[in-house]
Chain A
């Protein structure tokens, strides 16, 4: 038999050896997979089967001081494409067709969407290879339903509902609230340090309160760790954490006052645009441009911001579904006066004459003014319209009032009331001449917060500028081309004294400095938020009390002349002009005519700062700061109108109108868009009913015309 032969045995051994070799190979391979590389494969398997599903938590709301919601959330349907499904199920040829059909469907609902946009989103490297990429936001429910019903025609196209921002009061307080937008690369990297987790396609606060209180407003997303099968069906839930809604931020802002403030600012600018700029020499009548402005209203008692307006403004709703590049460019266009810029904290302006009280403080505090100084507080000084720096023969040594107008005999109080530049030139020159620090004025101003950010709870605040001989030199050394002048002259001190020259301040800084005057010497860091509140329990998680930065030396000896001088600004008038018998009016007197000053006394200061562009002087910037009601002021308000002329004529009326509403208790109640619509609808119904009633009445009259029976008929009816 074959097996028993030598060849047969050899062949059987050979067959056996092959079998042994093959088994050895399998065994070795299994050893390699299961013993040597177990860890790696376990990880791969987990990566396969275990998925984390994120459940987004709604963002906290932003609420005004009276509990009205200014920023809320609403559901929005997002159409996204699932790259994993598409890569697996759709061939390259079918992909174009899919995108074409999808773009068509989305566009048909009114959101113009191009195939190229879908392709860009599909290929975007910002999202992981298996991530869902959003392609259309805020689509209609109809489209969601349509796509869901035809899911086999649109493989990998999903829809989900996310919560997005909604603004019941429209563009109200846009600059304070800020807006949210999709994370950019830089923000995405920075989120690693944040307490709450983010996803690549998350939204984040970009500016304003939305940015400043991002950590509180952001909800804590919920996570479900699930085990899935090959078809992504959930097999088992391994771990789950519920999403927690973000905390509400309660502001110090009052929507009614905010609306009024914004409206008055806009009205003031519109008014200026109808007025002739007499300083401009040109053919015909030149009106003011008055392109932009800001108003800030603070509560001097605790430093909280009551209202803050910046014009031009924008609609934060533009950002809800991601803003288009064109729309964003329009908002950041210099030609359009930078609507995104919050001028209240990001506009740096020469404070002009509004700065004089701080020069006054320096003079009183150092003793330059006073019983042993160059002038007593009540010593009269003759303002002839111009001032020459002593021992200086040059024509550049002569400084004048606005339009070189002589004001006559003024003491400190009247110098403030009538805004005599000459009086303050005299003080400034003597700081330099006598044994005082050259930068005495700056030292005083810094105490009031000039030259550094106020610390308001908003991002992006600018510091203004408080120039001194030291900063002048430092600037020159750092950049000789931009700052060719290294020397500080007496003339610079003179300009500083009246808030011109290199002095710059934000409207908020000015308001905050006046708060110190109004409240008796306390410098606060302004607050915009009062509390952070748990949206469910309504308990405050955090409360923000007043933040005192500094307590100033504030004796009545200093307070009284400043208060008296500022109090006169709204009403003072006499007949003691430079030319015998001429009338001298306080700078804001005209604007406060008819204001109930007896019930609600207002002190203030006008400012008119000169402005130079590259082509020479342009229209003055109008400023007014007011506080009231005296003697315990609850409001400090600053208005600044760019290129709008004299502060007393164009900025003061803005504050006057706001204060009048407050004084009379007639600040109009603002309605949400929804309430407005409801009211309109209600009115329409009432109108219709009234018309019907009228129609019925007419009918009755027609029927009964000329007949006494109608009376009986009506009575019977």
Chain B
């Protein structure tokens, strides 16, 4: 292979195997990820330490540091196992995912009107987070078999695979995560070779379904309110309108250079509910300003770009599709999370990857990056 020869000639250490995965770790991706996670812990600390300097609450900070450390280990561990093996485990993942999602409906705890968590000791585990990565692997495994051209039946099968987890997550109900699944599905179908006609038809179907759900009255009033409040320009006194208004005020209040760490009045005054989780971007916006927002968005762009690039360089379609899945997941979560805090997207509970407080979200994100690293490392090794 020409490329291989080329690599070899440039290798600084010809004595070792130039194709060794360890020579092809995407450091840029690793560093961006760790930087973002580090920034996230700082933001969480600012958002949760409280206002009493004598008695700062460090419990969130400590937990998040643990999450990030465990997450880094998970990322490394994930990168070590040759990802091809995952293909064989895909049915197991799928089954485990469904069991988890079913179990959470049965024995999960309810928070914010959604039954999405298992209570394990003092920790809460959100199976739908992990299910996202499982779903990516399962879908990649299935679609990669058809190597770039999905006929109607294969597409139907892929959709059928998606229906069960989607339905279970909707039952919780967790509109946000459901939408992430849809985004992942659409991204992977696009790259996996679904026909454009099908994609357009699916999109139309999706819009039609949304309209149907909207008019059917299945949504609770508060859900509707959350979904449309971003369209209202006036600051309203409703809860959702309040949250979105306060969030935008916080971000605008940061201005160009930000109020400084621990100095954001909106943040310190706890004006934005859920500011340490879904609304974490308000903290960046207020305390670190436009500069901080740009850095965070830049780091995300870097992760997305490296993932996209890895997809293009992947040794096989399975690897590429994993990267595409991860990429669409991050792009959607990022856009949704920052979009709702800045008022261009409706409020749906989606964490910002690496920034939001939460073990499930952090581990899932690191897991996803681990997969991308895995694909990147083995782009010369894996048999096509």
> Which A residues are within 8 Å of any B CB, using their own CB?
1-3, 5, 7-8, 11-12, 14-16, 18-19, 22-23, 25-27, 29-31, 33-35, 37-38, 40-42, 44-46, 48-50, 87-88, 227-231, 233, 235-236
Contacts and interface: CB of A to CB of B under 8 A. Distances in A.
Nearest to A233: B51
Given A19-B331, A45-B252, A31 B290 contact: yes
Interface string B265-279: 110111101000000
A2 B342 contact: no
Given A18-B331, A34-B293, A229-B51, A12 B270 contact: no
A567 to B, nearest CB: 80
Q: Which of A42, A88, A228 has the most CB of B within 10 A?
A: A42
Main secondary structure of the interface of B (DSSP, over half): helix
A48 B324 contact: no
Given A18-B331, A27-B297, A48-B246, A11 B251 contact: no
Contacts of B342: 26, 29-30, 33
Q: Which of B190, B246, B265, B294 has the most CB of A within 10 A?
A: B265
Interface stretch (B127-135, B174-182, B213-221, B313-321): B313-321
A37 B331 CA distance: 26
B42 interface: no
Contacts of B144: 2
Interface stretch (B15-23, B59-67, B151-159, B304-312): B304-312
Contact of B266 (A2, A18, A23, A48): A48
B297 A15 contact: no
- Sort A-B residue pairs by CB-CB distance and give the 6 closest, nearest first: A41-B252, A2-B148, A229-B269, A45-B253, A38-B255, A34-B290
A29 B339 contact: yes
Interface in B321-363: 324, 327-328, 331, 334-335, 338-339, 342-344
A35 B292 CA distance: 12
A26 B190 contact: no
11 contacts: A2-B192, A2-B317, A3-B317, A22-B334, A23-B304, A26-B344, A33-B342, A38-B255, A42-B255, A50-B265, A229-B269
A522 to B, nearest CB: 66
Nearest to B292: A34
Contacts of B248: 33, 41
A48 B249 contact: yes
Given A3-B312, A12-B312, A34-B290, A44 B253 contact: yes
Nearest to A229: B269
Interface of B: 51, 144, 147-148, 187, 190-193, 237, 246, 248-256, 265-266, 268-271, 273, 285, 289-290, 293-294, 297, 300-301, 304, 308, 311-312, 314, 316-317, 320, 324, 327-328, 331, 334-335, 338-339, 342-344, 384
Contacts of A50: 265
Contact of B191 (A8, A26, A46, A230): A8
Given A29-B342, A34-B290, A23 B301 contact: yes
Given A12-B308, A25-B344, A26-B342, A38 B285 contact: no
B225 to A, nearest CB: 15
B252 A42 contact: yes
Contacts of A228: 269
Given A29-B339, A34-B254, 9 more contacts: A2-B148, A5-B148, A15-B191, A23-B334, A30-B297, A33-B252, A34-B289, A48-B246, A231-B270
B158 to A, nearest CB: 14
Contacts of B148: 1-2, 5, 7-8
Nearest to A227: B265
B270 A22 contact: no
B335 A26 contact: yes
Contact of B269 (A2, A8, A37, A230): A230
A87 B237 contact: yes
B256 A34 contact: yes
A38 B147 contact: no
A651 B190 CA distance: 110
Nearest to B384: A1
Contacts of B192: 2
Nearest to B52: A235
B265 A15 contact: no
B255 A34 contact: yes
Contact of B324 (A15, A27, A49): A15
B289 A15 contact: no
B320 A1 contact: yes
Contacts of B252: 33-34, 37-38, 40-42, 44-45
Contacts of A233: 51
B285 A27 contact: no
A2 B270 CA distance: 49
A18 B266 CA distance: 33
Nearest to A1: B317
Nearest to A231: B270
Contact of A27 (B237, B253, B271, B294): B294
B271 A229 contact: yes
Contacts of A23: 297, 300-301, 304, 334-335
A348 to B, nearest CB: 57
A16 B308 contact: yes
Contacts of B344: 25-26, 29
A7 B190 CA distance: 10
Contact of A229 (B270, B290, B301, B320): B270
A30 B251 contact: yes
A10 to B, nearest CB: 10
Contacts of A3: 191, 311-312, 314, 317, 320
B266 A45 contact: yes
B206 to A, nearest CB: 16
Given A30-B285, A227-B269, A44 B249 contact: yes
Contacts of A26: 297, 334-335, 338-339, 342, 344
A46 B286 CA distance: 13
A236 B51 CA distance: 9
Contacts of B269: 48-49, 227-230, 235
Nearest to B188: A15
A48 B271 contact: yes
A233 B314 CA distance: 55
Contacts of B147: 1-2
Contacts of B317: 1-3
B268 A19 contact: no
Nearest to A38: B255
A41 B293 contact: no
A46 B328 CA distance: 38
B155 to A, nearest CB: 15
A325 B9 CA distance: 102
